[in-house]
A and B are shown apart, each in its own frame.
Chain A
Amino acid sequence: MNLDGMKTYQDDDEVDVVVVGTGAGGGPLLARLAARGLRVVAFEAGPNFDSTDFTQDELTAPRINWLSERISGGDTPTAFGPNNSGMGVGGGTLHWGAFTPRPDPRDLTLRTETGVGADWPIAHAELVRYLVEVERDIGVSGPTPYPWDAERTYLYEPVARNAPADLMALGCERLGVRATDAPAAMISRDREQPHHGLRRAGFNLGSIHQGDRFGTKASTAITYLPAAVADGAEIRPNSMVTGIERDGSGRVTGVTYLADGVERRQRCAALVLAGGGVETPRLLLHTGLANSSGLVGRNFLAHGAAQVWGRFDEQIRGYRGYPSALITEDFVRPQDADFAGGYLVQSLGVMPINFATNLVRGAGLWGKELMAALDDYRFSAGVGMNGEFLPSEDNLLELTDELDEWGLPRAEISLSPGENEKAIERHAITRMTEMLEAAGARSTRVVLRSAHTLGTCRMSIDPSDGVVDPDGRSHDIDNLWICDNSTFPSSLSANPGLTQMALALRTADRMLAG
């Protein structure tokens, strides 16, 4: 994004707020604080990309991902890298899929409803006010009326359906499952974005996980961050925060960071960590702060993200068009569930390297069978789930004694699905397979995977039960806040990006309220 003429601060200036990270959490918060006149600086470990840095070459596209090594354990080790991280001004929103369902109210009270999982200490109605605001700010398209929420309206008509969406719609119709165009942070009409410029609609690119040059997809780098800069915020790319400084009373006074290999300090009156579900707990464990609960790094959550692929007679070529253009929320609480919570289903088209990687990792293919499955790529349409994942003590992030390129200990993350996750996955795979078969698939194949990094600094009312309070403020240090996916107390069946942006505006408001 354009940072020319941006206001800048000296390391010695005591700014009001330092924000670490510029993704779905850091971006909206920065904009809100700047709009209210606060002196704010955001640090971003990754570079500031120009829109022309986003490439259609899938092999080299992961330069927008966090590629510093993470160590992955448990029964189903999380594949990080392109599947699970962002790095650069815009964070994860540079490469996210922009699929923007709103969280279902039942998911926020899962524990009350079922006795397992966690309740959110935030009222759904309040969250919705912020969700609506975010949808307006970034430009979300979707169907009005929305079958599962009579109250809801969308700003723009849905983006075009591609072939996998057509097939999922057909399959659902034949099975009596409700399905409709997916809500997406993709504009379906050209839009003038304040402080950014013209965003263009209608190119139907399937490669949006590699970044989007035309601005069809919303990222914080073309929405909240330009607004923040216009209101006087500074963004410092290529600046990795490695330490937190405090005074005698334990309050935060500044951060240390590495830029071009040089260690520097920035003073601040308040600090917001928005480095995401892995980097924020890593920094807190490294500095030993805000962990009186012992829960920093605990309850790592993901989403069950199994996919089913069908082989059809026609060339589907699902790499065309918005990759997840169809949704059903019919399985958020399935009638015949033998589990707590539920899942969403979306239609799927993916890029070839992603497809090949998933066939190996998620379906165990090799040799002739693998090559034949790749030959079927063009005839393949997929559907995928995003399923509730219950918090568990055994799923956690710890520090290792191996150091990364900035001298910080690398994180080891363990993830093993429990019985509930397995039951959800089984249910989803059955339903998704039926959908594809009803749509005419000749054969189907299951690809197992998980997605997203949540929960490692969860919010709670009771200080012994979480790391931050419902506003995002540390239970231990009153001028330290967290604003990213690590604060999620439960995973929800909705994908986390939109909810994260709403939480960011809310945390900013709470900070401004004093």
Chain B
Amino acid sequence: MMPVCTVFFLPGLGLDATAAAPLGEALDDRFRLVPIEFAVPAGEPDAVDGSVDALTRTALAAIAREADGGPWILLAHSMGGKIAAAIAAHVLAGRTGPDGESGLFGLAGSVLLAPSPPSPEPMSENRRVRMIGWVADESTLDEEQAQEFLSGNIASSLSDADSASALQQLSRFPPSLWRGWLEVGSREDISHEVGTLDLPVTVLAGDDDDDLGSTAQPALLKDVYPRAHFVPLPSTGHLIAYERPNEVAKAIVELWDTVIEPAPQTPAEWGRLIASSRTDVEVRSNFAERAVPDDATYAPLALTEDQLATLRRLADLLVPQPGTARIDLAARVDARLAGKPGDGWRPAGLPDDRVAYRLGLDALAQTWPDSPADQRVLVGRLVAGEEAVAAFPTAELSRRWFEDVRVDLVQSWMAHPASQARIGYDGFATGGTAPEPVGFSELAAGRRESWEPRELGRLGDRHENHDQEQHERDDA
């Protein structure tokens, strides 16, 4: 089966891309696991120095190379966790990557394993000094040191093969990166740059881990990830990917099945266009935020829980979404109602939008019929102004309020990048801050340009050659 989601794995200190192996086995083939390599020996062109910035740039470049335009998840362990926060902030801000032109799109959530937080990583000074001492002469860890590190970070022993692999990774880990992380990266405070990340996130942490264990994590991360779901793992140390590969896989599958898959996915070709340099940074950021799957436990800001529930029922009827995927349109309208500014007007005779919503939804809840057929009849009569929501003095005012509701809901649907892809709108990829101004050169019916998604028409004459090359590159 074709993979539906890419999982980018960011390993922790002392480990490298090989550490993804146990996870690769545990994950089913809907997921494409792509480990990112930080452990490049000093002196090689892509060696990393252990600062958050350098690690982030490495990861961003790797993700940009491997991203296919579809949805992706960050799976990050320990040191990788801090980098995952920096990456998520970067992607949600729509920023361009190391090439200075294109960005990334498609981040749907994160699974974090005993992650290092955006704030300085808690670590006893003794331990830090001792570990830095291991590479004092720029040598790699010796067997004893590797063994000490491994056994200090697990709660029960690993299989022989895993143990051997971990030790091997530890003993070849670049000393400069080891030292750089302990001296610089781990101590950096990037909380301000990262801010609050409104992403679905699962945090796995071991009960037998110390500073980054299950009791420490909520305090370290709940403000960074308000949607974080913390999962404590009994009898587990720090090396969760080795100790609990099945739990990790389960967390990924659960995040996908219950949160990401139920939300609309932007097709890969469209995701690539949003990531490309044609799309403006701000537009990419807005799209990235709107593409994040909604929070099933969303607490309304302008409405009550009951009012939100009524609005959800209305949304299903007024703006029925195609297929099985759902945007929580009601929650998005609630968030817009709570924020400023409004849309610049309201019908005479109605109170301001927020109050009108409350009154209208409360009144509707009173008379909401049980059967779907009756619900449709009622909605049709409300749209036509043949029946009034009791909160409003006349049927005509009720109709006007209901018109605003319908507009707000459909605008929230239309603003989602997957909806724009669905209706065939790619104008977002013009007119922005791209390095060179970009617009349209093919305007004829049935025709498209080489940069446009293929479904949008036949290639216009002057675009044929270019497109040929593009496809060859895509296929390569």
Contacts and interface: CB of A to CB of B under 8 A. Distances in A.
A368 B321 CA distance: 9
Interface string A124-143: 00000000000000000000
A55 interface: yes
Contacts of B319: 366-367, 370-371
Nearest to B281: A52
B410 A360 contact: yes
Nearest to B351: A402
Interface in B395-420: 400, 403, 406-407, 410-411, 413-415, 420
Contact of B410 (A54, A70, A82, A357): A357
A73 interface: yes
Nearest to A358: B407
B439 A59 contact: no
Interface in A389-417: 412, 414
Contacts of A249: none
A289 B376 CA distance: 52
A332 to B, nearest CB: 28
B428 A360 contact: no
6 contacts: A55-B283, A57-B428, A59-B414, A203-B440, A214-B437, A370-B410
B437 A203 contact: yes
A353 B414 CA distance: 6
B369 interface: no
Given A67-B343, A213-B433, 19 more contacts: A55-B280, A56-B431, A57-B280, A60-B282, A72-B347, A73-B349, A81-B342, A163-B445, A203-B437, A206-B440, A207-B430, A214-B431, A353-B414, A366-B317, A366-B318, A371-B320, A371-B322, A374-B423, A378-B425
Interface string B330-366: 0000000000011111111100100000000000000
B384 A73 contact: no
B369 to A, nearest CB: 16
B344 A67 contact: yes
What is the size category of the interface that chain A forms with chain B?
35 or more
B336 to A, nearest CB: 9
Contacts of B400: 77
Interface of A: 52, 54-60, 62, 65-74, 77-82, 84-85, 160-163, 166-167, 200, 202-207, 212-214, 312, 314-317, 319-321, 351-353, 356-357, 359-361, 364, 366-368, 370-371, 374-375, 377-378, 412, 414
A172 to B, nearest CB: 16
A81 B344 contact: yes
B410 A356 contact: yes
B442 interface: yes
B122 interface: no
Contacts of A359: 410
B415 A62 contact: no
B100 interface: no
A57 B448 CA distance: 21
A375 B414 CA distance: 11
Contacts of A70: 344-345
Contact of A69 (B342, B403, B422, B423): B342
Given A70-B344, A360-B407, A360-B410, A55 B320 contact: no
Interface string B439-462: 111111110100000001100000
B423 A57 contact: no
Contacts of A162: 443
A71 B348 contact: yes
Contacts, number: 200
B428 A56 contact: yes
B347 A77 contact: yes
B24 interface: no
B22 interface: no
A200 to B, nearest CB: 6
A464 B443 CA distance: 52
B345 A203 contact: no
A352 B446 contact: no
Contacts of A364: 383-384
A56 B432 contact: yes
A213 B431 contact: yes
A161 B443 CA distance: 7
B379 interface: yes
Contacts of B280: 55-57
B424 interface: yes
Nearest to A164: B445
A57 B286 contact: yes
A356 B438 CA distance: 26
Contacts of A353: 411, 414-415
A366 to B, nearest CB: 5
B344 A56 contact: no
Interface of B: 279-280, 282-283, 286-287, 317-322, 341-349, 352, 376, 379-380, 383-384, 400, 403, 406-407, 410-411, 413-415, 420, 422-425, 427-433, 437-446, 448, 456-457
A72 B348 contact: yes
A273 B3 CA distance: 63
A492 B415 CA distance: 36
Interface centre among A161, A163, A312 (most CB of B within 10 A): A163
Nearest to A80: B345
B79 to A, nearest CB: 35
A112 B347 CA distance: 36
B474 to A, nearest CB: 21
B60 to A, nearest CB: 23
Contact of B427 (A166, A212, A319): A319
B383 A366 contact: yes
B344 A80 contact: yes
A387 B357 CA distance: 35
A329 B427 CA distance: 30
Given A69-B342, A375-B422, A412 B348 contact: yes
Contacts of B414: 58-59, 352-353, 356, 374
Nearest to A216: B439
A77 B404 CA distance: 12
B348 A69 contact: no
Given A167-B445, A213-B432, A315-B445, A203 B427 contact: no
Given A203-B430, A320-B440, A368-B320, A77 B348 contact: yes
A54 B318 CA distance: 31
Given A62-B344, A65-B344, A207-B427, A315 B441 contact: no
B443 A204 contact: yes
Contacts of B445: 163, 166-167, 312, 314-317
Interface centre among A78, A161, A374 (most CB of B within 10 A): A374
Contacts of B422: 375
B452 to A, nearest CB: 9
A399 to B, nearest CB: 13
Contacts of B448: 315
Contact of B440 (A80, A321, A360, A375): A321
A319 B413 CA distance: 18
B320 to A, nearest CB: 6
B283 A57 contact: yes
A133 to B, nearest CB: 29
Contacts of B318: 366-367, 370
A378 B383 contact: no
Contact of A205 (B279, B376, B383, B431): B431
B346 A69 contact: yes
Contacts of B456: 315, 317, 378
Contacts of A368: 320
A313 to B, nearest CB: 9
B343 A62 contact: yes
Given A55-B283, A214-B431, A361 B443 contact: no
A74 B397 CA distance: 11
Contacts of B443: 160-163, 204, 320-321
Nearest to B423: A377
A457 to B, nearest CB: 21
A73 B433 contact: no
A105 B373 CA distance: 57
Interface centre among B344, B349, B432 (most CB of A within 10 A): B344
